[in-house]
Chains A and B, each alone.
Chain A
């Protein structure tokens, strides 16, 4: 049985799905004609990205029985799981997808109907809504054999994954990362390394595979290189005009989040990087008339990405940096194949959401300088408390120390019911007036 499933998985991955997808290339939604003049030519890599991500989601149907399946938080050290060949599913990434396809709110309502509070992160509500209703835009989610969460991004995931463990009756592995108030201590590292080592027997049992150190090192290398390449991809936006916008990058982020440690992610970013470098050489910008360069703080407002992107492009404003997209270029590059466990502990405990506000300010200060940022758009996300707390302090500091103006938009990552069109418009218009004055 396993053998057949395994063969089927491989066939679909390498031959079946790519062929199927070529068949069903849907006609793309086009942006309004009048806006076409604001944007440069679209990136050709985007087609490849869609292919990779669609294949990843479709493949989940063949994963059950062929591969051990794990549901993983975005900040968990997935590299360890890759050494056991888990098929990984990222509820947060899926939540973003639901948000972008504007079905986030109705899935949230399913969870709310079961008693989950509206104040709970919408990624969690969407995921629970999917579990309870079986509805998802990707057809069907693969049933997990294991849940893997790390509290380096928030405490929400701890409780959310406990609910998942209860719902699916599968084991939950939790990676506990001490918050970095000032400096990371050796005792913190050894505490985390101890946890990683303890996971190995559990992973062996769930996957039925023995731990292979060399394979693990391979994954570490791939993850590190992909992260470095992603960093180079982002760095192309230092050019004037920037060859890509952050709104594009929100999409191109998917492989580094959910396929990290696999060759496909690295290969993809090499292709993308080539294209971007070529655009820089030819002076092709993401928007045709780049007059102002902006930075974005916090997770995207998934159901508004296209709309916002148009609104800013119309005014010659391009987003060239974001703390969010930067998060996957920042600490994963600390990985070291010679010290895989220690470096994994370090890389994952120093992520932006597990790090102090001072670090965050310094990071933003650096991005402002390196990318020539003229203004900052701060998304205060109702879902994400760890990301949204402290934003007003940062806003004030950036104004006081660097004279960089900013605007706060109160919204949410995937639950569009929280978004107020009128209030957002007033704030943005006032920001535009201040930037253009």
Chain B
């Protein structure tokens, strides 16, 4: 049996997906990238191999993606996240016309055509506003964990308006809101709103087509997803492991690579 590996080395998480020849996901893993991306790639691969219960030698081809894609020495090919998220999202939800990936250090909106082909895209990678990093900084300030953000914001009956989009300014704004005794849930909901507004302006640049699929770690945050659904006036597909979508797309490309080679 042959297997195909995709590795996505992101700013925050490094993820692997292993596919078999029938394009079924047989193993995956999510680890922190940390300071050494080559080590993170090794670690995530080991874990995915354990889950798939196969030997490393069984991997026929590997495609790497993400900011750290150059630090995966064993990958045959390196492809950008844009192409990989589009392919991965299309594989999971074939009606996908638009992908929104919000990762740790950048966010992107991709318009997807037939077969998961990239038609158009736009990215925000100039600053942390509108990225997962923004939420991490705020969660730390509010002393809540990332997992809790979503539920807390859904509990809020009102929301506080956060006027700065800049992470540094928003942080000091949050400090003063806390000092004014605003409930944490309301502040969190305001922070989510601020992310959603940033994403909304990117979505508007491209225009929405077809179903929307969200990928990247922020898709795990129900608070952000529900506000975005409200704003887009349509439901959003979210896979149970949205962080592996990029690695999945890379694995699909690895499979394609092996097929065209033979």
Decide whether A and B assemble into one complex: yes
Which of chain B's residues have a CB closer than 8 A to the CB of A291?
none
Q: CA of A312 to CA of B189 in the docked complex: distance in angstroms?
A: 45
In the bound complex, residues from chain A placing their C-beta under 8 Å from that of B120 are 395-396, 399, 405-406
Is A400 close to B, CB under 8 A? yes
Query: B123 to chain A: which residues have CB within 8 Å?
Result: 423, 426-427
Find out whether the CB atom of A400 lies under 8 angstroms from the CB atom of B80.
no
Whether the pair A395, B205 counts as a contact (CB closer than 8 A) is yes
For residue A407, which residues in chain B have a CB less than 8 angstroms away from its CB? 121
| Any B CB within 8 A of the CB of A402 | no
For residue A437, CB closer than 8 A to chain B, the reply is yes
Could you tell me the distance between the alpha carbons of A395 and B206 in the complex, rounded to whole angstroms? 8
Q: Which residue of A lies closest to B118 (CB)?
A: A434
A430 at the interface (CB under 8 A from B): yes
User: Is B83 touching A396 in the complex (CB atoms < 8 A)?
Assistant: no
Over the window 80-114 of chain B, the binary record of Cβ atoms lying under 8 Å from chain A Cβ atoms (1 yes, 0 no) is 11110000000000000000000000000001000
Residue from the list B67, B80, B206, B207 in contact with A430, Cβ < 8 A: B80
B147 is an interface residue with CB less than 8 A from chain A: no
Give residues 112-139 of A contacting B (CB, 8 Å).
none
A400→B120 CA distance, assembly (Å): 10
B207: A residues at CB distance < 8 A: 396, 400
Q: Say yes or no for A433: interface residue by CB 8 A criterion.
A: yes
**Across the two chains, which residue of chain B brings its CB closest to A435?**
B118
Q: For the complex, give the distance between the alpha carbons of A411 and B121 in Å.
A: 17
Q: Which residue of A lies closest to B66 (CB)?
A: A426
A205 to chain B: which residues have CB within 8 Å?
none
In whole Å, how far is B100's beta carbon from the nearest beta carbon of chain A? 15
- Closest chain A residue, CB of each to CB of B202: A392
Q: Is the CB of B205 within 8 A of A426?
A: no
Residues of A within 8 Å of B22, CB to CB, are none
Tell me, in angstroms, the Cα distance from A434 to B79 when the chains sit together: 11
A410 pairs with B126, CB closer than 8 A: yes
Across the two chains, which residue of chain A brings its CB closest to B78? Answer: A429
Query: With an 8 A cutoff between CB atoms, is B222 at the interface?
Result: no
Judge if B50 is at the interface, Cβ distance under 8 Å: no
Contacts of A427 in B (CB 8 A): 123
Residues of chain B lying within 8 A (CB to CB) of residue A437: 83, 117-118
A404-437 to B contact mask, C-beta < 8 Å, 1/0: 0111101000000000101100110110011001
Q: Which positions 23-72 of chain A face chain B at CB distance < 8 Å?
A: none
Q: Give Cα A396–Cα B119 distance, bound, in whole angstroms.
A: 11
User: Whole-angstrom distance between the alpha carbons of A433 and B110 in the complex?
Assistant: 13
- Please encode chain A, from 260 to 303, with 1 for each CB lying within 8 Å of some chain B CB and 0 for all others: 00000000000000000000000000000000000000000000
Q: Is the interface of A mostly helix, strand, loop or mixed?
A: helix
A357 to chain B, nearest CB (A): 15
Tell me what chain B mostly uses at the interface: helix, strand, loop, or mixed.
mixed
Contact at A396–B121, with CB atoms within 8 Å? Answer: no
For the complex, is B122 an interface residue (Cβ under 8 Å from A)? Answer: yes
Interchain CB contact under 8 A, A426 and B118: no
Check A396 against B80 for contact (C-beta < 8 Å). Answer: no
Contact: A423 with B82, CB < 8 Å? no
User: Measured between C-beta atoms, what is the minimum distance from A314 to chain B in Å?
Assistant: 16
Inter-chain contact A434/B117, CB cutoff 8 Å: yes
Taken together as a complex, chains A and B put the C-alpha atoms of A426 and B126 apart, in Å, by 13
Residue of B nearest to A404 (CB): B120
Residues of B within 8 A of A426 (CB): 67, 80-82, 123, 125
B116 nearest CB neighbor, chain A only: A437
Nearest chain A CB to B149's CB is how many angstroms away? 27
CA of A429 to CA of B207 in the docked complex: distance in angstroms? Answer: 22
Provide the bound-state CA to CA distance between A406 and B206, in Å. 11
Give the residue name and chain of the B residue nearest to A391 (CB). B205
* Residues B121 and A430 in contact, CB atoms below 8 Å apart: yes
A396–B205 CB distance below 8 A? yes
CA distance A423 to B119 in the complex (A): 19
Contact between A433 and B122 (Cβ–Cβ < 8 Å)?
no
A391 to chain B minimum Cβ distance, whole angstroms, is 9
B83 touches A434 (CB 8 A): yes
Decide if B205 touches A433 in the complex (CB within 8 Å). no
Closest to A400 in B: B207
A346 to B246, CA, bound (A): 53
Complexed CA–CA distance, A427 and B126 (Å): 12
Contacts of B81 in A (CB 8 A): 426, 430
Contact partners of B126 in chain A: CB under 8 A: 410, 420, 423
Task: Take A392-B122, A423-B125, A437-B118 as given contacts and tell me if A430 and B82 are in contact as well, using a CB distance cutoff of 8 Å.
Answer: yes
Max chain B Cβ within 10 angstroms of own Cβ: one of A396, A427, A429, A434: A434
| A-B contact list, 20 entries, CB within 8 Å | A392-B205, A395-B120, A396-B120, A396-B205, A400-B207, A405-B119, A406-B120, A407-B121, A422-B67, A423-B123, A426-B67, A426-B123, A430-B118, A433-B82, A434-B82, A434-B118, A434-B119, A437-B83, A437-B117, A437-B118
Query: Considering the complex of A and B, which 4 residue pairs feature the smallest CB-CB distances, nearest first?
Result: A430-B82, A392-B205, A434-B118, A430-B80
12 more CB-based (< 8 A) A-B contacts, given A405-B120, A426-B125, A437-B83? A396-B206, A408-B122, A410-B126, A420-B126, A423-B126, A426-B81, A426-B82, A426-B123, A427-B123, A429-B80, A434-B119, A437-B117
